[in-house]
């Protein structure tokens, strides 16, 4: 150990004897490592930004849909069975750690009328305020309706840009009353423009309202007809006024008869929703999130292990793959650049070490004469090379940090510190020293002391 | 008691297909505490013999005992240890490390062994040696700041750092003027008398050879008749070193 430390000191002294050349030799490694660090940090920032942008498209979104009904071998397709409840949605949001937000959705189709104009939105969605978090969508003006509005089936909504243009033109829609089907509804907010989705569907042609409003006031009996539902009984009588005044028609707590209670000791399922949209914390956590949601729902729906799921969980695989590909493309590119620059730096080190061995032939001969074994010489020269590379690496890390900070301040490039890059650079710098220092060191150690002492 | 014993040492170089015998059976013994000189014309095998004596080279055949160890059969690593522990080298061109202080020059051989010495002990030992050779006030000087004689004295201090029983000096005065040569030779004599170190001076300078108590003359790969009476060298001129073999 001590002799190792002494070799280290000897190597340091040898480098100090030719300080200018040592610094110039290091320059290759310094630039290489600095480039790696700066590229990695800037690249990290860019791919974080990229991930954010793509998750804005919905890459993190998980759709939970009710399962299929089947009868006599005939299945009726997704959504033919209504098994999801708003309570399921609350439970997902609260109990799944990999889920950042969850919102129930119900949908309907109805005509919108404002003044002398009318329009049928492509999508009318009833949901909770969490919907905007799930879809990573912001508001242009106004504000989102509140949970209070959801509980009260308040007649408020927010609208997309297309509806605003079709119904209001240049007018300010905030606070205006429209008619949605039979219901008078007030606009409280306007969504940001999102444009068409990947299928070409206009995402701005959208109206969002509390799901209770859509379900009970606008679409009325949607879903209550399902066999699986024990939803509040909406009167079957054809009475359009039910839609306007649901409080008379909706009985949230149906009074079961004594025999009913005895026969079905299940908790009463209040109401159903069409789908639950949830968002995972990150794209990487989607599989974990799906697993957690599946576990939770199976438990909540009291499914035996041998029973199939009565729901389906979908993720946006296409988006997630695109995201993964773009990220790996960036990092592969950086890796290639890094490898090339470090190779160049390493060749520089080897070059200088070879020159140094030739120049110091007499010194090597002397060291051998006073008792250095060839492995001592080998060790000394390898340590010199590694020391050069490590010093170059250290300076390079600082320089790279500096460059990425500069890029952040001057060009407003997003950068993020990359600890793996720093660790990798140190390891790479040391191994470049080892690999490219080995040949010159080996050459030095093979010198014949007699020849070396006589060398001029 | 003898420190060096050579028994029928031969050394043959192979130049392509031709064998060139350089040493043709050298037998020699040097006692502890002797101050001997090794002389010979260039091409006589003097340098080869010195390399073998210094454990830098291996004989083709024959036995070499140094301080009771048979050195001839040793591996290169073992010989490196012997060089470190038992032999101090002084060279004609000093062979000091460039841009290195005198103190570090002297400490340098300790880097390869002497793990039992702490850095402070090593430093103290080197300082003592530099004071011994009269350079106590120039420990921080680099070779370029020292005169030839001072450089050679640094080299002598370096040779002594491991307290070797044998000091091997290869033309130690070859690059020095006559005055400093005398000083350096004086130093060898002092070390020999006061410390009991065996000194072998390899030289072709008759005055240097004559300053030794014993002169070993090598000619054409063989030891010429041993000459204990060195008086005739003192009197003889520059060319007379060659005379006995003729």
Is the confidence at residue A222, as pLDDT, over 70? no
Say what the pLDDT of residue A264 is: 67
Question: Pick from B81, B83, B98: which is nearest to A369 by CB?
Answer: B83
Residue A135: inside a domain: yes
Whether B80 sits inside 8 A of A371 (CB atoms) is yes
A300 domain residue, yes or no: no
Supply the pLDDT for residue A285: 85
Query: Which among B57, B80, B99 has CB closest to A372?
Result: B80
Out of B81, B89, B162, whose CB is closest to A369? B89
Answer yes or no: do A338 and A392 share one domain. Answer: yes
> Percentage of chain A with pLDDT > 90?
25
Residue A17 exposed, middle or buried by CB count within 10 Å (0-12, 13-18, 19+): middle
Is the confidence at residue A47, as pLDDT, over 80? Answer: no
> CA B217, CA A422: separation in Å to the nearest integer?
66
Secondary structure (DSSP) of A119-150: E--SEEEEE-THHHHHTT--EEEE----HHHH
- B76–A450 CB contact, under 8 Å: no
Distance between CA A129 and CA A133 in Å, rounded?
A: 8
Cα–Cα nearest to A32, from A334, A300, A297, A299: A334
Q: Within 10 A of A119 (CB to CB), how many other CB atoms are there?
A: 18
Contacts of B48 in chain A (CB under 8 A): none
Task: Supply B6's token pair.
Answer: 């050579």
Q: How far is CA B61 from CA A406, B21, B69, in A?
A: 71, 12, 16
Does one domain contain both A268 and A327? no
Asked if A211 and A264 sit in the same domain, the reply is: yes
Of B84, B95, B110, which has the smallest distance from its Cβ to A453's Cβ? B95
Q: How confident is the model at residue B98 (pLDDT cuts 50, 70, 90)?
A: confident
User: Are residues A225 and A151 part of one domain?
Assistant: yes
Place A262 in a pLDDT band, splitting at 50, 70 and 90.
confident
Q: Which helix (H) or strand (E) holds A10?
A: helix A2-17
> Average pLDDT in the B84-97 region?
90
> Which of the 8 DSSP states describes residue A174?
T
d(CA B233, CA B222): 20
| Residue contact A370–B91, C-beta within 8 A | no
d(CA B198, CA B211): 14
The pLDDT confidence band at residue B114, using thresholds 50, 70 and 90, is low
DSSP string, A176-228: -EEEETTEEEEEEEEEPP--B-TTS-BTTSEEEEEHHIIIIIIS-STTTT-SS
Q: What is the pLDDT of residue A236?
A: 44
Confidence of residue A319 (pLDDT cuts 50, 70, 90): low
User: A208 with A342, same domain?
Assistant: no
| Segment among A114-128, A324-338, B51-65 with least mean pLDDT | A324-338
ipTM of the complex: 0.88
Span A63-87, mean pLDDT? 77
Q: Is the pLDDT of residue A352 over 90?
A: no
Interchain pair B111, A6: CB under 8 A: yes
Whether residue A341 is found in the same domain as residue A394: yes
Q: How far is B236 from chain A (nearest CA, A)?
A: 31
Task: Report the residue of chain B nearest A364, measured CA to CA.
Answer: B97
Q: What is the mean pLDDT of residues B158-168?
A: 91
**What single DSSP character describes residue A283?**
G
Split at pLDDT 50, 70, 90, the class of A252 is low
Higher pLDDT pick, A151 / A225: A151
Residue A118 has pLDDT above 60, yes or no: yes
pLDDT in tens, A18-32: 888 888 888 888 888
Asked whether residue A294 is domain-assigned, the answer is no
pLDDT band at A39 (very low <50, low <70, confident <90, very high): confident
In a domain, A348, yes or no: yes
Domain shared by A48 and A149, yes or no: no
The answer to whether the beta carbons of residues B192 and B199 sit under 8 Å apart is yes
- Residue A94 belongs to some domain of the structure: no
pLDDT, tens digit, for every residue of B115-156?
Answer: 678 888 889 999 999 999 989 899 999 999 999 899 999 999
Q: What is the dihedral of CA A111, A114, A119, A122, to 10 degrees?
A: -70
pLDDT level of residue A13 (50, 70, 90 thresholds)? confident
CB contact under 8 A, A371 and B84: yes
* Same-domain pairing of A46 and A108: no
pLDDT tens figures, B61-85:
999 999 888 998 888 888 998 998 8
Residue A44: inside a domain, yes or no? Answer: yes
Q: How confident is the model at residue B231 (pLDDT cuts 50, 70, 90)?
A: very low
Per the structure, how many domains does chain B have? 1
Closest Cβ–Cβ partner in A2, A3, A450 for B51 = A450
Q: Which of A18, A374, A449 sits opposite B56 (nearest CB)?
A: A449
Are A3 and B111 within 8 A, CB to CB? yes
Nearest chain A residue to B119, by CA: A6
Q: Dihedral of CA A230/A231/A234/A240: which sign?
A: negative
Check whether residue A109 and residue A46 sit in a common domain: no
Q: At A231, is the pLDDT very low, low, confident or very high (cuts 50, 70, 90)?
A: very low
Nearest CB to A17; choose among B54, B84, B98: B98
Of residues A13, A363, A368, nearest to B80 (C-beta): A368
Which residues does chain B have within 8 Å of residue A369's beta carbon, measured at their own beta carbons?
A: 54, 56, 83, 89, 95
pLDDT of residue A124: 92
Full DSSP string of chain B: -EEEEEEEEEEEEEETTEEEEEEEEEEEEEETT-EEEEE--TTSSHHHHHHHHTTSS--SEEEEEETTEE-TT--HHHHHHHHHHHEEEE-TT--PPTT--HHHHHHGGGGTS-TTS-HHHHHHHHHHHHHHTT-TT-TT--GGGS-HHHHHHHHHHHHHTT--SEEEEESTTTTS-HHHHHHHHHHHHHIIIII--EEEEE-S-HHHHHHSSEEEEEETTEEPSPB---HHHHHS-GGGGSGGG-
pLDDT (0 to 100) of residue A149? 92
In a domain, A287, yes or no: no
* Structural domain harbouring B82: 2-245
Q: How far is B95 from chain A (nearest CA, A)?
A: 7
- Give the lowest-confidence range in A212-221, A438-447, B88-97: A212-221
Q: Which residues of B touch A378 (CB under 8 A)?
A: none
User: Which of A1, A12, A361, A370 to probe the B interface (max B CBs under 10 A)?
Assistant: A370
Set of chain B residues whose Cβ sits within 8 Å of the Cβ of A377: none
pLDDT in tens, A411-420: 777 787 878 8
Non-local CB neighbours of B84 within 8 Å, separated by 6+ positions:
A370, A371, A372, B109, B112, B113, B162
Residues of chain A in contact with residue B81, where contact means CB-CB under 8 angstroms, are: 371, 373
More confident residue, A123 or A77: A123
B82 to chain A: closest CA residue:
A371
CB contacts, 8 Å: B54 with chain A = 369
Residues A234 and A113 in one domain: yes
Q: Looking at the 3D structure of chain A, how many domains does it have?
A: 2
Regarding whether A356 and A260 lie in a shared domain, the answer is no
What is the span of the domain harbouring residue A240? 99-280
Contacts of A21 in chain B (CB under 8 A): none
In A, minimum Cα distance to B106 occurs at A370
Could you tell me if A158 and A247 lie in one domain?
A: yes
Instruction: Flag whether pLDDT at A68 surpasses 70.
Output: yes
Could you tell me the maximum CA-CA distance found in chain A, to the nearest angstrom? 116
Spell out which chain B residues touch chain A, with contact meaning CB-CB distance below 8 angstroms.
51, 54, 56-57, 76-77, 80-81, 83-85, 89, 91, 95, 97-100, 104, 108-113, 115, 158-159, 162
On whether residue A88 sits in a domain, the answer given is: no
| Residue from A172, A101, A113, A110 nearest A141 by CA | A172
Q: Which of A225, A258, A280 is the last residue of a domain?
A: A280
Which of helix, strand or coil describes residue A60? Answer: coil
CATH number at residue B229: 3.40.50.300
CA distance A254 to A231: 8
Of A63-77, A298-312, B16-30, B117-131, the range with the lowest mean pLDDT is: A63-77
């Amino acid at each position: 150990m001590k002799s190792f430390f002494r070799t280290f000191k000897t190597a340091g002294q040898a480098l100090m004897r030719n300080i200018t050349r040592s610094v110039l030799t290091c320059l290759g490694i310094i630039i290489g490592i600095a480039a790696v660090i700066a590229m990695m940090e800037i690249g990290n920032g860019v791919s974080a930004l990229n991930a954010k942008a793509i998750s804005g498209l919905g890459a993190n979104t998980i759709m939970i849909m009710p399962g299929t009904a089947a009868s006599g071998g005939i299945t009726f397709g997704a959504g033919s069975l209504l098994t999801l409840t708003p309570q399921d949605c609350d439970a997902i949001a609260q109990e799944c750690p990999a889920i950042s937000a969850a919102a129930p959705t119900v949908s309907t189709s109805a005509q919108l009328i404002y003044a002398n104009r009318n329009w049928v939105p492509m999508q009318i969605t009833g949901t909770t305020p969490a919907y905007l978090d799930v879809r990573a969508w912001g508001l242009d003006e106004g504000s989102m309706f509140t949970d209070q509005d959801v509980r009260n089936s308040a007649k408020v909504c927010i609208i997309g840009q297309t509806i605003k243009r079709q119904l209001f033109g240049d007018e300010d829609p905030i606070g205006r009353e429209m008619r949605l089907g039979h219901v008078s509804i007030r606009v409280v907010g306007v969504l940001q423009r999102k444009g068409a989705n990947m299928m070409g569907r206009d995402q701005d042609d959208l109206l969002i309202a509390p799901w209770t409003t859509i379900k009970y006031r606008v679409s009325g009996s949607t879903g209550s007809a399902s066999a699986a539902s024990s939803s509040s009984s909406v009167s079957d009588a054809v009475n359009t006024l039910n839609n306007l005044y649901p409080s008379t028609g909706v009985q949230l707590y149906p009074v079961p008869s004594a025999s009913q209670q005895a026969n079905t000791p299940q908790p009463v399922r209040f109401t159903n929703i069409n789908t639950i949209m949830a968002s995972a914390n990150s794209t990487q956590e989607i599989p974990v999130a799906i697993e957690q949601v599946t576990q939770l729902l199976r438990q909540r729906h009291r499914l035996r292990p041998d029973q199939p799921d009565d729901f389906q969980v979908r993720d946006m695989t296409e988006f997630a793959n695109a995201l993964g590909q773009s990220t790996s493309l960036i990092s592969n590119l950086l890796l290639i650049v890094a490898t090339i620059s470090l190779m160049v730096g390493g060749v520089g080190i080897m070059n200088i070490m070879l020159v140094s061995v030739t120049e110091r032939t007499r010194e090597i001969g002397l060291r051998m004469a006073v008792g250095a074994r060839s492995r001592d010489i080998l060790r000394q020269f390898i340590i010199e090379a590694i020391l050069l590379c490590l010093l170059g690496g250290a300076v390079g890390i600082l320089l790279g940090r500096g460059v990425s900070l500069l890029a952040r301040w001057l060009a407003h490039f997003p950068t993020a510190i990359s600890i793996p890059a720093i660790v990798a650079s140190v390891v790479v710098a040391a191994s470049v020293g080892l690999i490219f220092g080995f040949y010159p060191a080996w050459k030095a150690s093979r010198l014949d002391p007699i020849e070396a002492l006589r060398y001029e | 008691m003898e420190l060096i014993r050579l028994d029928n040492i031969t050394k043959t170089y192979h130049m392509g297909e031709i064998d060139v015998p350089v040493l043709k059976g050298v037998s020699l013994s040097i006692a502890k505490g002797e101050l001997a000189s090794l002389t010979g014309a260039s091409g006589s095998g003097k340098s080869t013999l010195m390399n073998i004596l210094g454990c830098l080279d291996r004989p083709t055949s024959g036995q070499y005992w140094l301080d009771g160890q048979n050195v001839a059969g040793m591996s290169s690593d073992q010989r490196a240890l012997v060089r470190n522990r038992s032999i101090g080298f002084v060279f004609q061109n000093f062979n000091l490390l460039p841009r290195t202080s005198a103190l570090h020059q002297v400490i340098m051989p300790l880097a390869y062994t002497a793990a039992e010495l702490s850095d402070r002990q090593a430093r103290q030992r080197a300082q003592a040696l530099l004071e011994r050779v009269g350079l106590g006030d120039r420990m921080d000087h680099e070779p370029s700041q020292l005169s030839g004689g001072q450089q050679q004295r640094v080299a002598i201090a370096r040779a002594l750092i491991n307290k070797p029983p044998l000091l091997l000096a290869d033309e130690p005065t070859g690059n020095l003027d006559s005055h400093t040569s005398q000083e350096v030779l004086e130093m060898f004599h002092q070390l020999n008398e006061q410390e009991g170190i065996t000194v072998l001076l390899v030289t072709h300078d008759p005055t240097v050879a004559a300053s030794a108590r014993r002169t070993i003359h090598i000619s054409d790969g063989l030891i010429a008749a041993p000459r204990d009476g060195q008086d005739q060298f003192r009197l003889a001129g520059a060319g007379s070193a060659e005379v006995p073999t003729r």
